[in-house]
Amino acid sequence: MLRYLLTFLAFTAPTFAQEVNLTTIPPGYSFVSEGNGEQVAVRFIRREGDRFLFKETVVYGDKSTNTVMVWLNAQSQTMAWGATGDETRYSPHDCAPSEGTCFYTWFHPDNTYEMKTITYVDDDVWVSDEYFKDGDAWVFWERDCTIYDEFGFWVDFVRIESDGITDFGARVRPEGNRLDTLWAICQPPLLTS
């Protein structure tokens, strides 16, 4: 999900972004996703130069809500999200959706993290293993298995964190979802470093 994404990008191997061009996104683009007892609504607000602003509202099982603004580049990579003045930033952006290995820095209001993402595509499912740097070691953080739409937003996703906590979501749509496929692809063994 967008609210978990990260920042400072340096490539050690070729990285290939999904063919995404937000300059063609239609006014009023939006979708609703459900999973893990939550409903997430994403809506395109406007273009601001080379950045694209989206509003993401999460409705939790207890009916409480959280709304954040998300700024993306034209390739649908997250540059920042959160409340203005208290946002999480990525320098220059996170790695989704792109294939290969990349490094970036995640500037969270509480801390700064050096991150690494290794992504490959398996039958149109984007599998990303994410790591954070601890001293000289890369420590496994989570695995994301995602199907993206033409604008680089999740259609269906499964996330398995290093501690076994899971998260998932699927768009609300008549044709159903592919969560069973994603669970099968995303399962351990997960890497630890």
Domain boundaries, the chain: 2-186
Judge whether 145 and 127 are in contact, CB under 8 Å: yes
Question: Tokens standing for 175?
Answer: 């044709």
pLDDT tens digit string along 32-56? 999 989 999 999 999 999 999 999 9
Q: Which residue has the tokens 């063919």?
A: 19
Beta strands 125-134 and 111-122 are antiparallel
Residue 178, pLDDT > 60, answer yes
pTM exceeding the 0.95 threshold for the entire prediction:
no
What are residue 48's DSSP bridge partners? 51
Residue 170, pLDDT > 70, answer yes
- Report the b/e string of 150-181 with b at 16+ CB within 10 A: ebbbbbbbbbbbbeeeebbbbbeeeeebbbeb
pLDDT of 144 reads 94
Find the helix or strand (DSSP H, E) in which 61 lies.
Answer: none
Residue 15, pLDDT > 50, answer no
pLDDT of 7 reads 24
Q: How confident is the model at residue 145 (pLDDT cuts 50, 70, 90)?
A: very high
pLDDT tens digit string along 51-73? 999 999 999 999 999 999 999 99
The rounded distance, in Å, linking the Cα atoms of 121 and 74 is 21
Judge whether 37 and 62 are in contact, CB under 8 Å: no
Mean pLDDT across the stretch 125-137?
A: 93
Residue 16, pLDDT > 50, answer no
Kindly give, in sequence order, each residue whose CB lies less than 8 Å from that of residue 173, ignoring residues fewer than 6 positions away: none
Q: How confident is the model at residue 4 (pLDDT cuts 50, 70, 90)?
A: very low
Residue 18, pLDDT > 50, answer yes
pLDDT tens digit string along 65-111? 999 999 999 999 898 998 777 788 888 778 888 889 988 898 988 88
